[in-house]
A and B are shown apart, each in its own frame.
Chain A
Amino acid sequence: MKAVVKNGIAVFSPQGFLDGNSQNAFMSTEDIEAATNLKADMILVSLKKVVFFNRNGLDIFIKLFLKIRKKNHITVGFCDYDSKKYDAIKRFFHDELNFSLFKTLDIAYLFSSSFKNQNKNILVYSSDKSQRSAIAIELHDGGHNPIIAQSEQEFNEKKEKKEAYDYIVDSTFLGQMGQKVATRVTGNAIIYTISSFLDVEISDKFNIEYHNNSLNVGFRLFIFDAYKVISMNVHALNFFSKLASSAAEYNANICFVGMKFDKTPEIFRETMEDAGILFYAQMDDILQNKELLKELGASSASNVKNKRALNKATVLELPKFIDATVITLEMMTNAKAVKEAVNVHNLIIEDKKGKIASSIGYYGDIDGMVILVFPQGIAKKACELLIGENTDDMELILDTLAELVNIVGGKIKTLLADELINVNITLPRTYQDVDSLLEVVENRKGVQVDLSFNDDKFLFFLTR
């Protein structure tokens, strides 16, 4: 059984009856191995479509959780259950409940380190007092506003007023949580939240792959929210210095916000400044200062000095990239995709209105970025198979477009692998208007291909 990874959470969805006989069939040794190599912040098993399970039936997943915890230190557990299933799991594992339980997948997203939702009002209840506090602290750390109900009665009264809360969290249990550095994207800046004592473990907790991907797809400003950092040692100092030097290659900036040096040697600050790290007292000093943002590279990519030209290796493989797009679009729409014109120049989008875009980077033997620009209606058509319903929900359309470009990325990876070229793909990124896309790729030369399916035109752009 394979997991589906979305927004940093990998979910396994077994169906039917889970007992001691079937458990090993659901998770083969190769599946467990593949799961431990997943690039995810959280690995969960959804019990939504499981009608029956006993303790033996869950054993294989517990084994998987242990292995993943040991190797990746990320959050693991079950989600999507009703109160009967929740009680059963707690009964089965009450002494050794070191994994987490999230009533729904949406609740799990609130706790993931690459949380998309923020600043939500969340009603929290657990009959276990320490759990109540743990849940509230985690949510608060994630930038939400938890409201704790102290008793079941209070919870029942409060939850009547549904409109007052974005989410209601109950029947949820936090086991050992992931220790990954939380990441969020604000505009074109990436904010990492770090806290307490920073030591050699920072290199395990920090998702360096995600960081490198972000550099690859054009992010130029990285902010470390360090309000809660108590102190750091020389290993952490080395880590950040190295990070700053690698960022310099991309002309990216790394800033620390709210870092205090009463328990950290002042000389560390100087060393970090020498490495190119900038220090600010408040987050708003950066985020509210448009001039500074521009200077730091968050609002425009025009100041990127190391513009990388298209090289022969990329151009030679161009047909593969186009094929991957064409094959994916044909697969998703059952319509013939046609290549209309190919040009090498900067990205030109004639009519910017109503267009959305999505990009995916790849790196390895060769590197670069594929961008697809669609009129909104056409994007919807291209994603019909994934969406399955008629919708004007922009968030859903963008989300689905990210899935589509992810499939294109997967196809690129396979097609290149046939030529013995190994690449990895980054997380997809979406742009709800063309201007935000141009901020990233403006003045970058690339190959622009006009494509169409069923006479619906869209644009493919390959750049580095």
Chain B
Amino acid sequence: MITKDKIDSFIEKIPPAPKALNETISLLNIGELTKAAKVAESDLALKSYLKSVVNKPIYGFRNEVSDISQIFGILGVSLSQQTVYNYMITLLSPKKWVLFKLNAKTFHEFQANLSKKWEIILKHLNIDDKNIYAAISLLPASIIVTEALFAEKIDDVNLLRSAKALDFNTILIRLCEVSLFDICEKIAKKWEMDENIAQIVQASSGVKPSNSEKINTLGKWMHLLLFYELSKPELVEAGLNDFLDFQIEYISDIYDEFASLMGVE
């Protein structure tokens, strides 16, 4: 159904990060917000993405924010970098979603919600590390990878899943000994993202805990946050609720804290 060759060819086709983006990230890395904004201005698609994301209701700005340096200024270094990474991930997303009933709008909304809530979590955990902020950007890549690998096999997958409740990650691991998150890690490497980012996202799969307690804790919060978002009606309808197996035991020790932080009643 899915072969290693197919996975390799998918990874090979991942384009290198555009020059302007690389430069923006490097400048953000050294805290040069104004210079970064100037470079970002030159990439019109990035500019329009930043504008559309920051003006979503979840960011809560009363007036439209349209100037990039203003956007970077409001977001600060960590969140600006995270948002640019979010944009990079969208470059991988398909023009037309087939396996999941998604479109650019719902996908961007999903990214924005994850980002905003990840920020709340990191503040709660007293973590101020821009790489950890950026880690959340890589998480939706797992959905894009699933779509890319399985879209053509939608009938086979449906047939298989009518006989046994297997999630996409398990199918991939059993067929090719590679997980969705291994592929995300490869994307992160190709785009020269910090190593920590890939490790946290691996831990967030819930099936490959890290040896580092700190990364594991972040992985748990990310895993639970992912399923919190995947329980939203539009994402359930998109068919995303069961694309991965929710590891309820894995997150049991942080659930109460998460629930009170997110106001789950």
Contact surface of A with B, Cβ cutoff 8 Å: 1-2, 4-5, 11, 13-19, 21-22, 24-26, 28, 48-52, 54, 327-328, 330-332, 334, 384-386, 388, 403-404, 406-407, 410-411, 414
A411–B159 contact, CB under 8 A?
yes
Instruction: Tell me whether B227 is interfacial, beta carbon within 8 Å.
Output: yes
B174 at the interface (CB under 8 A from A): yes
Report which of B155, B227, B246 forms a contact with A414, defined as CB distance below 8 A.
Answer: B155
Q: Which B residues lie within 8 Å of A49 (CB)?
A: 245-246, 248
| A37 CB → nearest B CB, Å | 14
B163 touches A51 (CB 8 A): no
Write the nearest CB–CB distance from B189 to chain A, whole angstroms: 25
User: Which residue of B165, B227, B232 contacts A51 across the interface (Cβ within 8 Å)?
Assistant: B227
Question: At the interface, yes or no: B161 with Cβ under 8 Å from chain A?
Answer: yes
Residue on A with the closest CB to B251?
Answer: A51
Q: How far is the CA of A185 from the CA of B164 in the complex (A)?
A: 23
B221 to chain A, nearest CB (A): 13
Given A22-B232, A414-B155, decide whether A4 and B164 contact each other with a Cβ distance below 8 A.
yes
Cα A403 to Cα B156 with chains together (Å): 14
Question: Can you name the residue of chain A whose Cβ is closest to the Cβ of B258?
Answer: A51
In angstroms, Cα B161 to Cα A332, docked, is 12
Contact with A along B136-173 (1 / 0, CB 8 A): 00000000000000000101100111111110001100
In the assembled complex, the CB of A329 is this many whole angstroms from the nearest CB of chain B, namely 11
The 0/1 profile, CB within 8 Å of A marked 1, for residues 206-234 of chain B is: 00000000000000000010011011111
Bound CA–CA A435/B141 (angstroms): 52
Does B236 touch A at the CB level, under 8 Å? Answer: yes
Q: A331-B1, A385-B175, A403-B164 are in contact. Are A16 and B246 (CB under 8 A)?
A: yes
Q: Which of A13, A16, A52, A331 contacts B259 (CB 8 A)?
A: A52
A4–B162 Cα distance when bound, in Å, is: 5
Q: Are B174 and A388 in contact (CB under 8 A)?
A: yes
Q: Which residue on A lies nearest to B243, using beta carbons?
A: A15
Residues of B within 8 A of A411 (CB): 159
Contacts from B to A (Cβ < 8 Å): 1-3, 153, 155-156, 159-166, 170-171, 174-176, 224, 227-228, 230-234, 236-237, 241-242, 245-246, 248, 251, 255, 259, 264-265
- Rounded to whole angstroms, the CA-CA distance of A108 and B228 in the bound complex is 29
- CB of A16 within 8 A of CB of B164, answer no
When distances are taken between beta carbons in the complex, the residues of chain A under 8 Å from B259 are 52
Query: Quick check: B248 and A51 within 8 Å, CB to CB?
Result: yes
C-alpha gap A50/B231 in the complex (Å): 10
B94 to chain A, nearest CB (A): 22
Measured between beta carbons, the chain B residues less than 8 angstroms from A2 are 161-162
A401 to B264, CA, bound (A): 43
CB-nearest residue of chain B to A23: B233
Minimum distance in angstroms from A104 CB to a CB of chain B: 14
Tell me the minimal C-beta distance from A143 to chain B in angstroms. Answer: 28
Residues of B within 8 A of A1 (CB): 236, 241-242
B161 touches A18 (CB 8 A): no
Contact at A13–B227, with CB atoms within 8 Å?
no
Residue of B nearest to A4 (CB): B165
Select from chain A the residue with minimum beta-carbon distance to B262.
A17
A91 to chain B, nearest CB (A): 15
Q: Which partner residue on chain A sits nearest B264 by CB separation?
A: A52
A24-B233 Cα distance, complex, nearest whole Å: 8
Contact yes or no, B163 A403, CB < 8 A: yes
Contact across chains for A407 and B231 when beta carbons are under 8 A apart: no
Chain B residues closer than 8 Å to A334, beta-carbon distance: 1-3, 175-176
10 contacts between A and B (CB under 8 A): A4-B164, A5-B162, A15-B230, A15-B242, A22-B232, A22-B233, A386-B163, A386-B166, A388-B170, A403-B164
Known: A25-B237, A384-B174. A407 touches B248 (CB 8 A): no
State whether A25 touches B234 (Cβ < 8 A): yes
The answer to whether A406 touches B163, judged by C-beta atoms less than 8 angstroms apart, is yes
CB nearest to B237 among chain A residues:
A25
Give the distance to chain B from A335, nearest Cβ to Cβ, in Å.
10
Q: What's the Cα separation between A17 and B233 when bound, in Å?
A: 10
Which has the most chain A C-beta neighbours within 10 Å: B159, B170, B176? B159
Further 8 A-B residue pairs, CB within 8 A, beyond A4-B163, A25-B234, A49-B246: A15-B245, A18-B231, A22-B231, A48-B248, A51-B227, A386-B166, A407-B162, A410-B163
- Contact partner, A13, options B159, B176, B242, B255, Cβ 8 Å: B242
For B264, what are the chain A residues with a Cβ–Cβ distance below 8 Å?
17, 52
CB distance from B165 to the nearest CB of A (A): 5
CB of B255, distance to nearest CB on chain A (Å): 6
Would you give the shortest CB distance from A367 to chain B, in whole angstroms? 21
A279 CB → nearest B CB, Å: 40
Q: In this complex, what residue of A is CB-closest to B159?
A: A410
State A402–B170 Cα separation when bound (angstroms).
20
Q: How far is the CA of A410 from the CA of B163 in the complex (A)?
A: 9
Residue of A25, A331, A410 touching B233 (CB-CB under 8 A): A25
Report A-chain residues with C-beta under 8 Å of the C-beta of B237.
25, 28
Give A30 Cβ to nearest chain B Cβ, in Å.
12
Q: How far is the CA of A22 from the CA of B235 in the complex (A)?
A: 9
How near does chain B come to A133, taking the closest CB pair, in angstroms? 34
A14-B241 in contact (CB<8A): yes
Nearest residue in B to A46 (C-beta to C-beta)? B165
A430 to chain B minimum Cβ distance, whole angstroms, is: 14
Residues of B contacting A17 in the complex (Cβ-Cβ under 8 angstroms)? 227-228, 231, 264
Question: Quick check: B1 and A16 within 8 Å, CB to CB?
Answer: no
A51-B255, A403-B163 as given contacts; A16 in contact with B174, CB under 8 Å: no
Shortest CB-to-CB span from A38 to chain B, Å, is: 11
Q: Which residues of B contact A5 (CB under 8 A)?
A: 162
- Min CB gap A52→B, angstroms: 6
**With the chains together, A414 CA to B231 CA distance in Å?**
32
In the complex, which residue of chain A has the Cβ closest to the Cβ of B226?
A: A16
B104 to chain A, nearest CB (A): 20
Q: Considering the complex of A and B, which 5 residue pairs feature the smallest CB-CB distances, nearest first?
A: A16-B231, A25-B236, A25-B233, A17-B231, A16-B227
The answer for the CA separation of A202 and B55 in the assembled complex, in Å, is 64
Rounded to whole Å, the gap between the CB of A313 and the closest CB of chain B is: 24
Query: In the assembled complex, how far is the CB of residue A227 from the closest CB belonging to chain B, in whole angstroms?
Result: 37
Which chain B residue has the least Cβ–Cβ distance from A335? B3
Complex: how many Å from CA A2 to CA B241? 12
Q: With contacts A14-B241, A385-B175 known, is A407 near B159, CB below 8 A?
A: yes
How far apart are the CA atoms of A414 and B155 in the complex, in Å?
A: 10
Whole-angstrom CA separation of A24 from B232 in the bound complex: 11
- From the candidates B163, B174, B241, name the one contacting A26 in the complex (CB within 8 A): B241
